Amino acid sequence: MQHILTLITDPHNAMLTARQTNAVRDALALSRGRVGPVDWLDQGIACDIPFDDVAPAEAVKAAKTALRNTPIDVLVLNPENRRKKALIADMESTIIRNEMLDEIAFEADIGDQVADITRRAMNGEIDFRGALRERVALLKGQPAALLEKAAEKIRLMNGAQVLLRTLKEHGVYCALVSGGFDYYTGPVAAQLGFDEHQANHLIIADGQISGEVREPILGREAKLEALRRVAQQRGIDVKDCIAVGDGANDLDMLGEAGLGIAFHAKPKVQEAARYNIRHGDLTALLYAQGYRREEISGRG
């Protein structure tokens, strides 16, 4: 069939039932669609429902209505070229739970002030580059040792390790791209097995944070350029790539990738993104590509 509607829930709360999948099938049929049988990718966690003759946006709306606000993500996907050959991933609030500039700022006792700027920048309310310069300037003169103290707070997002192990086992090239700092992307990339990483460089002088970032600042355009560069270097099309992020500076990358997923994203990003994961963890990126339980590292 022309489309696949994929339902995904949090694997730590496997709540997807036959009753819910049947309700979605009935809703698609009432929208005058032709509907195929349910194909379980992972019992209770994720399934595919093939269908035709309903516009994707209408199908998503019908499914969400049928699910009655239960915490289940709904994606409508093209079955062709579903599995991607490269992953381009944002790091902060995506691969890790933290916003590292905020973590440094909390160590310097100016956390609330910096976190508010971060929130507005990630929601697209203010310019990313200007916001980064402003936040870093507030840290001028602080001891560089704060970077390592902040690093001790890093926590991986649920599903990050499973996602990376599974993709690497299937030969997928993985790039970590961040508007944050290479001080953190390097260790995170090494820990999880990313093939490369890119981020901004925070300038340290005489054991102190200088209050400056090396130019040019890598923001929204740099993430899009990274997507295009990885595709070109791998000899694939950007449509062969999956991208994931949560902030406004990820939107260009998400929009051009073959499968661009906004992950637990800021409100304005959710509105702008075609695909959203609001409830599942990062393994949702695997189910979105049609991976089955037995193919997922640690789930088989």
pLDDT tens figures, 4-49 = 999 999 999 999 999 999 999 999 999 999 999 999 999 999 999 9
pLDDT tens string 159-210: 999 999 999 999 999 999 999 999 999 999 999 999 999 999 999 999 999 9
292 in a structural domain: no
| Domain contains 38 | yes
CATH of the domain at 14: 3.30.70.260
Question: How far is 52 from 68, CA to CA, in rounded Å?
Answer: 23
Residue 11 preceded by cis peptide, ω within 30? no
Q: Per the domain annotation, does 88 fall within a domain?
A: no
Amino acid at 256: E
What confidence category does residue 89 fall into, taking pLDDT thresholds of 50, 70 and 90?
very high
Across residues 71-87, what is the average pLDDT?
A: 96
For residue 300, the model assigns a pLDDT of 60
State the pLDDT at residue 69: 87
Condensed to tens digits (0 to 9), the pLDDT of residues 102-124 reads: 999 999 999 999 999 999 988 88
Q: Is residue 37 part of a domain?
A: yes
Q: For residue 197, with 0-12 CB atoms within 10 Å meaning exposed, 13-18 middle and 19 or more buried, which class applies?
A: buried
Q: What is the largest CA-CA distance in the chain?
A: 69
**Mean pLDDT across the chain:** 96
What pLDDT, on a 0 to 100 scale, did the predictor assign at position 299? 72
**Distance separating alpha carbons of residues 75 and 263, to the nearest angstrom:** 13
Residue 135 has pLDDT above 90, yes or no: yes
1 inside domain: yes
Is residue 98 situated within a structural domain? Answer: no
Per residue in 44-77, pLDDT tens?
999 999 999 999 999 999 999 999 989 999 999 9
- What pLDDT was estimated at residue 1? 82
What range does the domain containing 76 cover?
1-80
Domain total of the chain: 1
Domain presence at residue 91: no
Residue 127 domain-assigned?
no
| Residues sharing a CB contact under 8 Å with residue 20, sequence separation 6 or more, in sequence order | 7, 66, 67, 70, 72
Distances (CA, A) of 274 to 114, 124, 156, 283: 30, 17, 25, 18
Is there a contact between 58 and 19 (Cβ–Cβ < 8 Å)? no
